[in-house]
Structure 1
Amino acid sequence: MIIEGALEAPLFTSEPSDTDIAEFQAWVREAGQALYRDLPWRNTRDAYAIWISEAMLQQTQVSRVLSRWERFLRHFPTVDALASASSADVVEEWQGLGYNRRALALKRAADICSAEYAGRMPEGVDKLVKLPGIGDATAAGITAFSRDVPCLYLETNVRAVFIHCFFRDAERVTDKELCPLVERACPAEDVRGWYYALLDVGARLKKDHKNPTRRAAAYTRQNKFEGSRRQKRAWLVREVMAAPGLSSAELLRRLNVEERKSGRDGVEGDEFESIMADLAREGFFHREGDGWLA
């Protein structure tokens, strides 16, 4: 199958027949084969390596993850290696991927796996979701791609395919409506290949058509990063790691220099203290005297 121009998909009702499901499966397989992306994390069944890829891909573009996944694994090749590292080292290696809290969650989950599962990832969605930072989709991804067993993997690209094909004119489509279809369509064998096909088809659909996930009840538009509280948090994390021991006054002064360089108003002391309190509570750094350390 050669796909030229926009990807055209078969359309069904939200209550498809068995014949409809079979037709849908055949189309996904065929289109997925033509659109297959040979991504490095698809060439392993190691649950730890797959977990790292799933965590990175949660809110970061594939193109950025491509240059960072293997590098992260070189630094922390096993669960035990990640558990043995300091939180500061993990966060530093995570820089550039965004949402630094994911790095701390990885570290905390690795600590648990090292202590309670002999340095291995637990098997089964029910056990995986109990680890910090691992939700239903990540747990299912780890399970499907490492063990090749049927499970309910509903992430943004998968959601896009099912909304486009089964809810053509619907708005605010809920996961409660989608989950039975995702489960029903999931094959008993080659689950890895099935979900890889869905991911690649979904990625293409979102390029060729108005993004179907915008019609999902779960969809939220990401706020602008520039000038946001999230940007200030990220800058402060980098600054404390680069120059440990800086006082609050000096950090605020440096932050405001950067803000004004970008044409924005300076940060008020109350907002700065609120951000620092959040970062300290989340485990990014702590205070010693008047200095901040990662």
Structure 2
Amino acid sequence: MKTTTQIHLDLPGPSRSRDPPTDEAIAEFQTQVLSFYKRHGRHDMLWRHTDDPYRILVSEIMLQQTQVERVTVKYPAFIQSFPDAVALASAPQSAVIAAWQGMGYNRRAIALKKCAEKMVNEYGGTLPRDPEVLAAFPGIGPATASSICAFAFNLPVVFIETNIRRVFIHFFFPGTEAVTDKEILPLVERALDRENPHVWYWALMDLGTDLKKRVPNPNRKSTGYTKQAPFEGSDRRIRGMILKFLIGKSPVRENAILDHVREEPARVNRLLLALEKEGFIRKSRAGYRLAD
């Protein structure tokens, strides 16, 4: 996607008193967002060329905390290994963790496998069309449940995620601080294209991604904004190193893990205990291995 656009980025929004925008302003906003998408939308993503709910579920879980560029690389291989819910549900957990490497936040891999198991065991291998039901699935909250329903079933649901939030704050809250999602949601509902919600949300997300590159991040005005902790030196990085080291190996002694990770033994021991408690790894007399 091109990083320079002709879209007008100063669409009149509410005044500083936060009066609701007019219907004309909403209509102009819709026109400009869809115009942007027509010219600059990311049409090359595989998950935008399927209506298979399972495959859209996979993409949405992957995209929760990972950049699109990385998901674009990992998604095809994951789908090739686990083409449907039955394949993923029946796969050893260790194989799923191995396939997930490079994505980060490995808890999502286990949650995704549990979602597949729930689909197979409770819903005949299908995915429910109800966002309230989906929100109770492992690793899926209300926003992800709604996005799955929009993209898999073209349902006119209303939700906010980071790129959508960025677009609405930028356009409708200029010069305003401490914007709440409660203020944004009515605007999302008013602007929603109810005939083609999946295309509308794609357009919003692509524009939000583009805005991130070209303007100071509007999401900093959100009351829910938190800056992500650095990855380097974090527990998350060490956990990932441990899991990656154990892939495809017989039980590994603790000393070998310490030699590989090269961090304080007390810290590594704490993380090993946490990974075991969370079901990622198993400990035996022979050492540690990935849980099946």
TM above 0.5: yes
1:137 and 2:133 equivalent? no
Matched residue type, 1:59: Q
Q: Which runs of 4+ in 1 moved over 6 A?
A: none
| 8 A Cα contact 1:161 1:202, kept in partner | yes
Per the alignment, in what secondary structure is the counterpart of residue 247 of structure 2? helix
Q: In structure 2, what is the Cα distance between the partners aligned to 1:7 and 1:209?
A: 13
Per the alignment, in what secondary structure is the counterpart of residue 292 of structure 1? strand
Per the alignment, in what secondary structure is the counterpart of residue 207 of structure 2? helix
Q: Deviations over 1:28-77 (max 9, x none)?
A: 11122111111211111111111111111111111111111111111000
Structure 2: gaps spanning 5 or more residues: none
Q: Could you tell me which residue of structure 2 aligns to residue 261 of structure 1?
A: none
| 8 A Cα contact 1:28 1:197, kept in partner | yes
Per the alignment, in what secondary structure is the counterpart of residue 99 of structure 1? coil
Q: Could you tell me which residue of structure 2 aligns to residue 30 of structure 1?
A: 35
Q: In structure 2, what is the Cα distance between the partners aligned to 1:11 and 1:58?
A: 31
Q: Deviations over 1:94-140 (max 9, x none)?
A: 00011111101101111111100011111110011000011122111
Q: In structure 1, what is the Cα distance between the partners aligned to 2:168 and 2:206?
A: 13
Q: In structure 2, what is the Cα distance between the partners aligned to 1:171 and 1:76?
A: 45
Kindly report which structure 2 residues correspond to 1:243-262, keeping only aligned pairs within 5 A, or say none. 243-256=249-262
Bigger mean CA deviation after superposition, 77-86 or 19-28: 19-28
Kindly report which structure 2 residues correspond to 1:1-294, keeping only aligned pairs within 5 A, or say none. 7-9=7-9, 10-13=11-14, 14=18, 15-38=20-43, 39-256=45-262, 266-267=263-264, 269-294=265-290
Q: Against the structure 1 CA distance between its residues 25 and 229, is the aligned structure 2 distance closer, same or farther, given a 3 Å change threshold?
A: same
| 8 A Cα contact 1:6 1:208, kept in partner | no
| 8 A Cα contact 1:11 1:164, kept in partner | no
Q: Could you tell me which residue of structure 2 aligns to residue 263 of structure 1?
A: none
TM-score w.r.t. length of structure 1: 0.91
User: Identity percentage over the alignment?
Assistant: 40
| 8 A Cα contact 2:3 2:213, kept in partner | no
Q: In structure 1, what is the Cα distance between the partners aligned to 2:248 and 2:83?
A: 24
CA RMSD of aligned residues (A): 1.7
Structure 1: gaps spanning 5 or more residues: 257-265
Q: In structure 2, what is the Cα distance between the partners aligned to 1:3 and 1:64?
A: 18
Q: In structure 2, what is the Cα distance between the partners aligned to 1:8 and 1:33?
A: 15
Matched residue type, 1:282: E
Matched residue type, 2:8: E
Shift of 1:11: 2.8
Q: In structure 1, what is the Cα distance between the partners aligned to 2:112 and 2:32?
A: 36
Q: Deviations over 1:166-222 (max 9, x none)?
A: 111122322122112112211220111111111111111111111112222222211
Per the alignment, in what secondary structure is the counterpart of residue 55 of structure 1? helix
Q: In structure 2, what is the Cα distance between the partners aligned to 1:33 and 1:153?
A: 22
Matched residue type, 1:238: K
| 8 A Cα contact 1:79 1:110, kept in partner | yes
Bigger mean CA deviation after superposition, 173-182 or 122-131: 173-182
Q: Against the structure 1 CA distance between its residues 246 and 187, is the aligned structure 2 distance closer, same or farther, given a 3 Å change threshold?
A: same
Q: In structure 2, what is the Cα distance between the partners aligned to 1:8 and 1:50?
A: 32
| 8 A Cα contact 2:8 2:32, kept in partner | no
Shift of 1:237: 0.7
Matched residue type, 1:209: V
TM-score w.r.t. length of structure 2: 0.92
Matched residue type, 2:12: L
